[in-house]
Structure 1
Amino acid sequence: MGDTRAGSAFIGSFTSAGGRGIITAAVDARTGALTETAETGAVANPSYLALGAADGGPVLYAVSEQDEGAVGALRVSDDKQPPRLIGAPVAVGGAGPTHLAVAAGRLLTANYTSGSVSVLPVGPTGEPVAPARVLRQEGRGPHPERQREPHAHQVLPDPTGRWILVTDLGTDSVHVCALDPDTGGLVEHGQTALRPGTGPRQLAFHPSGRYAYVLGELEPAVTVCRWDSGAGVLEPLGVTPVLPEGYTGSAYPSAVVVAPDGRFLWVAIRGHDSLAVLALSAGGERAELVTTVPCGGHWPRDLALDPTGSRLYAANERSGDVTWFAVDPVTGVPRRSGSIEAPAASCVIFA
């Protein structure tokens, strides 16, 4: 038989809650099944991961989600060996980094607790270089506990690479920023206000690049926005709930993923412990809830689409597993196919 592996996956976790750090897994090309091959605890609380490239090969970046936030760079060799830390983790100058991205030779982190975004240059071998340049946000929202101050939750380059978008759960807004070529830091270009109490957590772009879907954590809904990449302007168009009508229990959406062909959008929902399936209109300007299905575990913190676009993977934090689903190409509805143990799982990405 030939080699059925389809590359590698990396699973991040909370070491403070019993996680094993970063788990490397082989991906079966036929079934999508994950098989653990290595692990490393070199970074504390590597709750979110991203891949980059540097001299010598691919580099895996991991936030260290702690009060004194940091970011680590790890050299990736193959899926049988754990990634090796390149130097020591570097402080980001912010607390509780929850998300990171690589853009224009820099590493960016969204620091939830301190409500800021950090930018660090990347050295020739992929290591982050201190000190970090930090852009702090201001403002608050109506929620008495969750929105007393800014809480940057995601930092994401737009499809053109010209703009950096930051979702701020604490101020019900999305900041549009640009990298300053002189200082190496971020400068704010504009700010889009969403409905009060929305608590934006993540956003994802339509494959056309003309629309973005902003997921609320405090209001279980997706705000469909028009994205003007020329002007750097995000314009809200409408709001679509992600829960079945009549549901009154607790629900905290965590992640949003868009199909490569732009026909469907999926949302992971903690509390309801489900994956919501939304159908997108032909152009992407409208979204409609189709159904929800069980997430295969408890408290899905992250959701990822594999490189083929045919399978979804839910990182179920409290049940300690990553569950994978085959996606029906006609209806977009996921069907559970299997799972792998991953204590305190927080994210999954693919090489």
Structure 2
Amino acid sequence: MARGRHRDAPSRTPAAAPASAAAPQQGAAAQAAARPRSAPRHLYLGTYTSSGGGKGVGVATYDPHSGAISPGSVLAGAADPSFLALSAAGDVLYAVDEQEQGRVTAAAVGSDGTLRVLGSRPTGGSSPCHLSVHPGGRHVLSANYGSGSIAVHPLGSGGVLLARSDLVQHTGSGPDPDRQEGPHAHMVLSDPGGAFVLAVDLGTDSVYTYRLDPTAGKLTEVSRAAVKPGSGPRHLAFHPSGRYAYVANELGDSVIVCGYDPATGTLTPGSPQPTVPAGSPVSGRNYPAEVVVSANGAFVYVSNRGHDSVARFAVQNGGAGLRLLDAVPSGGAYPRHIALDPTGTLLFAANQNSGTVARFHVDPATGALTSAGGGYATPTPVCVLPV
């Protein structure tokens, strides 16, 4: 893949869109707790507008009991909004504009969940595919996949994006000539304590740890963790203890349990393990994508593109181990992104190639996933954010 538009490996043409998103959902969870349990909740959908028929950020609602999704409006002011994140207060939504000249867009969230564009800023790189809000609430961090860099944008009054305060360029490559010819930053997020910022780079088989200066908005590299060459790390999620993290390897078809020192920001990767049961039939390669952790730290879920499933792992030894329990069909094709709702009783899967968002009930005791009904049709869903 050339260092340009990020569309993953196989074709993304639809047949008919923290933890990576855990930090934004924490603020949303507080809002959700204040609403009646039966009241409809908002669901935001990321997509590609330059291919696959997406029109912008989708705004929908879902039933908190059944998970059934009802259509709403579309925010057309963001181009290729492939990843979304909410402010801690839930009043501003941020979206990457995954284009050659990458940008980040901010939108105010109305009381009815509708969105109004506040403005956008260039990321200084190409094809940004992930972003997160720093726990301090004063900065948005974005990962430029195409150019392999990390951008920092301070936030002004009302969550408005200010001019970029930093751009950190990764260097290096990996053994896969098609996907690792150069750096490809695929995710950037803060650790649970907010002391460090971690950037996952698929192209260099590395996870970088930075410290963010909250006044200057500058990143300083603290350490760098290397995974097995050719693994292509994509996304990372923390255990609630803050002492372990789980990395989904897109190219290595695996997940890694990593030790994490919250005092130093040092990440120590373990051995990779499969994300599909032994002997499972897969047409072509399998590309793990999103990894999420249950709020109680008992279960980890990984989406499998190719096997088209959601893997369920039991967390063992206080977070230090994972045991694969099963992998249930994702309810569509190529589940790029999965997310738990703030209550942890529903899981949504954005099946990019089938143009559907599937929903599952989550058993709180076993973590088991049970289909909650038919999929919600929407063009090229690549990110799903329930609040």
**In structure 1, distance between residues paired with 2:111 and 2:58:** 13
Alignment of 1:91-110 (within 5 A): 91-103=122-134, 104=136, 105-110=138-143
Aligned residue among 95, 98, 108 for 1:75: 108
Aligned residue among 316, 341, 347 for 2:377: 341
Amino acid at match of 1:276: A
Q: Which runs of 4+ in 1 moved over 4 A?
A: none
**In structure 2, distance between residues paired with 1:78 and 1:343:** 25
Helix, strand or coil for the counterpart of 1:302?
strand
Amino acid at match of 1:96: S
Amino acid at match of 1:4: S
Instruction: Measure how far apart 1:220 and its partner are.
Output: 1.2
Helix, strand or coil for the counterpart of 1:283?
helix
**In structure 2, distance between residues paired with 1:227 and 1:28:** 37
Instruction: Measure how far apart 1:237 and its partner are.
Output: 2.7
CA 129–337 in structure 1, closer or farther in 2 if over 3 Å, else same: same
Deviation per CA, 1:102-133, whole angstroms, max 9, x where unpaired? 11301110000000000011111211111352
**In structure 1, distance between residues paired with 2:186 and 2:133:** 16
Aligned residue among 275, 285, 294 for 1:259: 294
Which residue in 1 is equivalent to 2:168?
135
**In structure 2, distance between residues paired with 1:10 and 1:205:** 23
Alignment partner of 1:226 is 2:259: yes
Alignment partner of 1:13 is 2:22: no
Instruction: Measure how far apart 1:282 and its partner are.
Output: 4.1
Amino acid at match of 2:379: P
Which residue in 2 is equivalent to 1:154?
187
* Contact 2:312–2:324 (CA under 8 A) maintained in structure 1: yes
Aligned residue among 194, 208, 211 for 2:227: 194
Which residue in 1 is equivalent to 2:151?
118
Aligned residue among 298, 311, 327 for 2:333: 298
Amino acid at match of 1:152: A
Amino acid at match of 2:65: R
**In structure 2, distance between residues paired with 1:318 and 1:27:** 22
Instruction: Measure how far apart 1:234 and its partner are.
Output: 0.6
**In structure 2, distance between residues paired with 1:225 and 1:15:** 36
Which residue in 2 is equivalent to 1:4?
38
**In structure 1, distance between residues paired with 2:63 and 2:198:** 34
Which residue in 2 is equivalent to 1:281?
316
Deviation per CA, 1:143-194, whole angstroms, max 9, x where unpaired? 1111111100000100000100000000111000011345312111100011
Aligned residue among 167, 174, 177 for 1:144: 177
Whose strand proportion is higher, 1 or 2? Answer: 1
* Contact 1:11–1:346 (CA under 8 A) maintained in structure 2: yes
* Contact 1:326–1:336 (CA under 8 A) maintained in structure 2: yes
Alignment RMSD, CA only? 1.6
Percent identity for Structure 1 against Structure 2: 46
Alignment partner of 1:164 is 2:200: no
Helix, strand or coil for the counterpart of 2:382?
strand
5+ residue gaps, structure 1, are none
**In structure 1, distance between residues paired with 2:216 and 2:240:** 32
* Contact 1:53–1:126 (CA under 8 A) maintained in structure 2: no
CA 328–141 in structure 1, closer or farther in 2 if over 3 Å, else same: same
Whose helix proportion is higher, 1 or 2? Answer: 2
Aligned residue among 79, 86, 92 for 2:118: 86
Alignment of 1:7-46 (within 5 A): 7-17=41-51, 18-46=53-81
* Contact 1:325–1:335 (CA under 8 A) maintained in structure 2: yes
* Contact 2:151–2:164 (CA under 8 A) maintained in structure 1: no
Which residue in 2 is equivalent to 1:64?
97
CA 270–236 in structure 1, closer or farther in 2 if over 3 Å, else same: same
CA 183–19 in structure 1, closer or farther in 2 if over 3 Å, else same: same
**In structure 1, distance between residues paired with 2:105 and 2:308:** 31
Q: Normalising by the residue count of structure 1, what TM-score does the alignment of the two structures yield?
A: 0.95
* Contact 2:165–2:216 (CA under 8 A) maintained in structure 1: no
Instruction: Measure how far apart 1:259 and its partner are.
Output: 1.0
Amino acid at match of 2:382: S
Alignment of 1:178-189 (within 5 A): 178-181=211-214, 183-189=216-222
Amino acid at match of 1:159: P
Alignment partner of 1:50 is 2:50: no
Amino acid at match of 2:276: L
Amino acid at match of 1:311: L
**In structure 2, distance between residues paired with 1:252 and 1:290:** 19
More displaced stretch, 331-340 vs 132-141: 331-340
Q: Normalising by the residue count of structure 2, what TM-score does the alignment of the two structures yield?
A: 0.86
Helix, strand or coil for the counterpart of 2:50?
helix
Deviation per CA, 1:212-250, whole angstroms, max 9, x where unpaired? 001100011111011100011111233221022234631
CA 39–142 in structure 1, closer or farther in 2 if over 3 Å, else same: same
Instruction: Measure how far apart 1:3 and its partner are.
Output: 8.0
